[in-house]
Structure 1
Amino acid sequence: MEKQTKSGIIYGDQNFFVPSHLNFGAYVLQKLLTHKRGQTALINGATEEQITFGEIAQKIVNIASSLSRLGVKQGDVVAIFSENRIEYVLTALAVYYSGAIITFFNNAYTKGDLTHALSISKPKYMFLSGELYKTQYEVIENTKYIQKYVLYDDAEMRSNCLHFKELSEKHVDIKSGNYFDFKGTPQTCMILYSSGTTGLAKGAKINHLNLIVSSQQPMMTDRDLTPLMIAPWSSTMGIIRILKEIAFGRTTVFLPKYNEIQYLKTIQKYKIGLLSVAPPLIVMLYKSNIVKDFDISSVKIVYSGGAPITPESIHQLKSRFPHMNVLQGYGMTEATGAVTEDLDNSPREGSVGRIVPGNIIKISDPNTNKTLGCGEPGEVRVKGLVLFEGYVGRDMQNDYDAEGFYKTGDIAYYDQDGYFYIVDRIKELIKYKGWQVTPSELEAVILQHPDVKDAGVTGAPDTLAGELPTAFVVKQANAKVTEQEIIDYVSDKVAPWKRLRGGVIFLKEIPKTASGKILRRELQALLSKQRPQKLPASKL
């Protein structure tokens, strides 16, 4: 249970079981051995491939032993570069167990993104899919970091390559498995890349204790609700949630990538009860023209995370699907996943829930550092057992306040019952003539238009006003809505300073991170390309 002190600091429960070995892989292995060994743990909804909890336990020990024979040592970095697949989870758990450090590269990375991520973690070993091996090998090899590649698929292999089966099928007695003794000192076990919504991604160092605590945080405990996961496991939301599901012992269905028809077919086939999604999928569900062709009545809970979802979108979803209940969470890479979460089947509208165990939160004035009280919006600052170790190769002095709280850059407030409400990010607020305009608020209004499929908002520079709210819009198929129609539609629903004075630009797709956060820096770049001429001074 959370509690609030007189100082305005809110504490989540800090009592957890922490094994003496302080190895997350060993902790999960012990959990696996308590589950029914013949129970299905993971199902690939696209290929129908399955694996049981008992098989996962055996594969972890097999692969970890093989890694040791390859020369992988404590502190070595091992990378995974692949779409979601069963081998992905097996590799990650084995690396944790071995004492090495795991890192993940998003399979949608551009050449520049991949090169940048490689330069942060400098992995010695890489597990990857055959397709990415074919298309990205030259980019990876040019960095000179990788000593050995392990392929998940059959492909023409170079001399520095192994096949995954060579590592996973060398049977080891599970009772003789060994792991490093950290002697009570948490060690880094994972490098995750921050979403990079406002700049290049940073490598966040997560340790074994962070993950052990995170995996014990409460979950929706109805085991009869089969979850479906689509978030890439290279993202924080994706990897933390799948690790928690495995430790929890619930059969989980996943998909390697998103395709609307495949997604709906999978819900229907496996009678999915719990959807773990980013906000764009909620918009897809209530705006989809083909969802009526599928039976998705099994879905009881839609859990939204990774980016804000507005009350308007929730109302639209529930209007179309009254049997669905939407729960929200707020989290970040730096807190090893969730910071607040709503696990109550009667959520408070607009809220991202209450503090999650392992966290300590305060709301601060970002200018004066004063701790604020109930109902006062300010910067979210966090610390606790799940707080990361810092960024690779970066001076963190300015990232913490005097009390050791990490400055998140997110603006929020909490109510008298401890429910939190996210306003926006400090860097993303648009400043129009001294007024603050929240991009997510305008996006919610625009998404209500029946001819709009998706939207993103940012500020266009202006010599008099500072910034002009500007919308990027994806039209519904065959829609003929115009820029002026959207401007007028918004003007009728918002305060004068929130109007789209920067206009509307139509796109085929809104640029987003894997977790669904809008990449506003890319919108800014598109803005300069679309309208490279100097913007005129604004008019009232």
Structure 2
Amino acid sequence: MLANLRCDELSLQASVIRLSSRMMNDDFYVYGDQNVQVPAHLNFGKFILDRLRLKKDEIALELGETREKLTYKEFTQYAVNMSAALTKLGVGPGDIVAVGSEKRNEFVPTVLAIVFTGATYTPYDLKSGRAVLKHKISITQPKYFICSSFFWQTYSDILLSFDCIEKFITLDDGVDSVISIRTLVTNDVDINKFEPMQVQGQVDIAFILYSSGTTGMPKGVQLTHLNCILNSLPDDFSDESLQTAFLFGEWYHNYDTFMTYKFLALGRKIVYVNEAEPQTFLKSVQDCGVNIAFIVPSFVCYLSKAMEAEKYDLDSLKIIYSRSSPLHNKTIQRVKTRFPKLKNILQGYGMTEAGELTSESWGTKGCKAGSVGMASPGITLKVADPETRKTLGPNQTGEICLRGPVFMKGYIGVPPSKYLDEQGFFKTGDLGYYDDDKYFFIVERLKEILVYDGYKVAPLELETILQLHPGVREAGVVGKPAGVFGEEPTAFVVKQPGVEVTEKELIDYVATEVPPYMQLRGGVKFIQEMPRNPRGKLMRQHLREMLN
């Protein structure tokens, strides 16, 4: 049974906020489709399992580097077997179960096995570092910890220091003093008779993920079963020609996590890699027949310039879906010109707290260059003046704010008053606007805007201009303190391999493209690698530290 949800009336915040949200609608609010069908049980585990059962020998997951595959039948059997074993071990509603592992075929079915028990899943990233790992464990306090042998070897001293963790389980054999999941699974469970634990979908937490931490330590983001279902609705990728998807990122992040569930819900194949490099991406497209690729802007820029990309057969690739930061229109056009079989390059805009806010997939009049698309189903968006908080109309730049049932239950330990405004909207911190057709455009992060001589400068705009230069592979712009003038725009550049370019050449190039106040008065510094977090987002604070 499916339930139609009036998404503008569903809220997981206090009743006062729900009431004010309905009474304070504004002519300038922008609505996605507010009539969204979800299963009446509101159980994320059952939502996915019911779809997994429809497939058998089709490939669900394929590791690009090794071509190791997992069929839907194997995937589903693993998930239900492991879930039954965890239940026998004592895992159930109210428990938090952590997973720490490199990407591998067992990762996603392990997550679903946890959700089937009614417990809450939370992931820990191998690459996050010791301080961040300690922070995440301290705020989520998991009772059970499932990890790979590699994760255990890397962080066992930290894991053993937390008394909240009562049992450790490993995905591998041969780890001393740790339970192997293989010893817990004694026989196959009947897939057709197995049912996940019942939940209260609007209240019970299925996932705890983490904010990116670009402005401090990550915050724990609590996502209910309803949140997860809404994040996994696959309608925007129902095109039958998109049978094989490539995922760049980690399964610790909202974007890659729920893109995976969208394609699993459709019964499609998902190709992933452990070493996310341009060459492994190109080889995966060629060898695995990838039709749609979810990658980051730096990969798209690479495709627009790198001659070696033309050595690969990319004819199967129909759609590139970019995220993390906006692409320049010229970059999009260059890639389309170089690879004529490519139908489109789409841009996504989302966040851990609310999934995809907008998508070009939802555009009613086709794609618009430079846009991140229209409001996604279930979302209500507004653009607010950062100072007065007045709701702005079309073509006026302000802070993008959101509300709707896809929005998280809340941050762990942070009161809603810290991140919601008076109408119950979440303040994203992103500057942007929408045009007369209600297509959204992202300008910059609110906290990253520079001020030079009274003028506001968006680093992202300078970065996109720099990346159009044939000698630039990646660029990052920050402000260099300049006394009474404020901050001078300063660029950090990773050169395109095999291309010579000088600081003066790039300063002069930018000067011809921008007004005087946006020129690179702080100069250009060449570096070997651009600092990015595991999600591919530029870590500007690291660049600022390099100015000293």
Q: Same fold (TM over 0.5)?
A: yes
Which one-letter code corresponds to 2:238 in the other structure? Answer: T
Give the Cα separation in 2 of the matches to 1:299 and 1:45: 15
1:318 match: 336
Residue 430 of structure 1 deviates from its aligned partner by 0.8
Give the Cα separation in 2 of the matches to 1:32 and 1:72: 23
CA 107–313 in structure 1, closer or farther in 2 if over 3 Å, else same: farther
2:12 match: none
Q: Which piece of structure 1 moves more, 42-51 or 240-249? A: 42-51
The answer on 1:61 being equivalent to 2:80 is: yes
Residue 183 of structure 1 deviates from its aligned partner by 4.7
Secondary structure of 1:404's counterpart equals coil
Give the Cα separation in 2 of the matches to 1:493 and 1:197: 29
Which one-letter code corresponds to 1:367 in the other structure? Answer: E
Q: Which piece of structure 1 moves more, 210-219 or 295-304? A: 210-219
1:30 match: 50
2:438 match: 418
Match runs of 1:430-449 below 5 Å: 430-449=450-469
Deviations 1:481-519 (A, max 9, x none): 222222222112111111111222221111112222111
Q: Give yes or no for contact 1:457–1:471 (8 Å, CA) kept in 2.
A: yes
The answer on 1:373 being equivalent to 2:373 is: no
Residue 187 of structure 1 deviates from its aligned partner by 0.8
Which one-letter code corresponds to 2:288 in the other structure? Answer: Y
Give the Cα separation in 2 of the matches to 1:368 and 1:120: 34
Secondary structure of 1:436's counterpart equals strand
2:353 match: 334
CA 274–91 in structure 1, closer or farther in 2 if over 3 Å, else same: same
Give the Cα separation in 2 of the matches to 1:429 and 1:136: 38
2:197 match: 180
Which one-letter code corresponds to 1:285 in the other structure? Answer: L
Residue 188 of structure 1 deviates from its aligned partner by 1.0
1:499 match: 519
Q: Give yes or no for contact 2:475–2:530 (8 Å, CA) kept in 1.
A: yes
CA 183–507 in structure 1, closer or farther in 2 if over 3 Å, else same: closer
Residue 60 of structure 1 deviates from its aligned partner by 2.1
The answer on 1:152 being equivalent to 2:182 is: no
Residue 393 of structure 1 deviates from its aligned partner by 1.2
Q: Give yes or no for contact 2:122–2:207 (8 Å, CA) kept in 1.
A: yes
Deviations 1:361-390 (A, max 9, x none): 111112111111111111111011100011
Give the Cα separation in 1 of the matches to 2:184 and 2:533: 32
The answer on 1:389 being equivalent to 2:409 is: yes
1:538 match: none
Which one-letter code corresponds to 2:462 in the other structure? Answer: L
Give the Cα separation in 2 of the matches to 1:170 and 1:120: 36
Residue 126 of structure 1 deviates from its aligned partner by 2.1
CA 163–471 in structure 1, closer or farther in 2 if over 3 Å, else same: same
Q: 1:352 aligns with which of 360, 365, 372?
A: 372
CA 15–56 in structure 1, closer or farther in 2 if over 3 Å, else same: farther
1:204 match: 221
Match runs of 1:138-149 below 5 Å: 138-149=157-168
Q: Give yes or no for contact 1:206–1:388 (8 Å, CA) kept in 2.
A: yes
Q: 1:246 aligns with which of 248, 251, 264?
A: 264
Residue 73 of structure 1 deviates from its aligned partner by 2.3
Give the Cα separation in 1 of the matches to 2:443 and 2:184: 48
Deviations 1:268-291 (A, max 9, x none): 112211111111111122232321
CA 176–299 in structure 1, closer or farther in 2 if over 3 Å, else same: closer
Which one-letter code corresponds to 1:383 in the other structure? Answer: R
The answer on 1:364 being equivalent to 2:422 is: no
2:18 match: none
Q: 2:491 aligns with which of 462, 471, 496?
A: 471
Residue 304 of structure 1 deviates from its aligned partner by 0.8
Secondary structure of 1:18's counterpart equals strand
Give the Cα separation in 1 of the matches to 2:154 and 2:312: 36
Match runs of 1:39-54 below 5 Å: 39-54=58-73
Give the Cα separation in 2 of the matches to 1:260 and 1:49: 20
The answer for unaligned runs of 5 or more in structure 2 is 1-5, 9-24
Secondary structure of 2:142's counterpart equals coil
The answer for unaligned runs of 5 or more in structure 1 is 532-540
1:290 match: 308
CA 304–196 in structure 1, closer or farther in 2 if over 3 Å, else same: same
Which one-letter code corresponds to 1:40 in the other structure? Answer: I
Which one-letter code corresponds to 2:513 in the other structure? Answer: K
The answer on 1:108 being equivalent to 2:131 is: no
Q: Give yes or no for contact 2:149–2:175 (8 Å, CA) kept in 1.
A: no
Q: Give yes or no for contact 1:198–1:520 (8 Å, CA) kept in 2.
A: no
Q: Give yes or no for contact 1:152–1:163 (8 Å, CA) kept in 2.
A: yes
Q: 1:302 aligns with which of 308, 311, 320?
A: 320
Q: 1:119 aligns with which of 138, 143, 149?
A: 138
Give the Cα separation in 2 of the matches to 1:440 and 1:167: 51
Q: Which piece of structure 1 moves more, 343-352 or 456-465? A: 343-352
Deviations 1:237-270 (A, max 9, x none): 1111101111122122221231333322211112
Which one-letter code corresponds to 2:348 in the other structure? Answer: G
Secondary structure of 2:451's counterpart equals strand
Residue 295 of structure 1 deviates from its aligned partner by 0.8
Q: How well do the aligned residues superpose, as a CA RMSD in angstroms? A: 2.1
CA 115–19 in structure 1, closer or farther in 2 if over 3 Å, else same: same
Q: TM-score, normalised by structure 1?
A: 0.92
* Number of matched pairs: 523
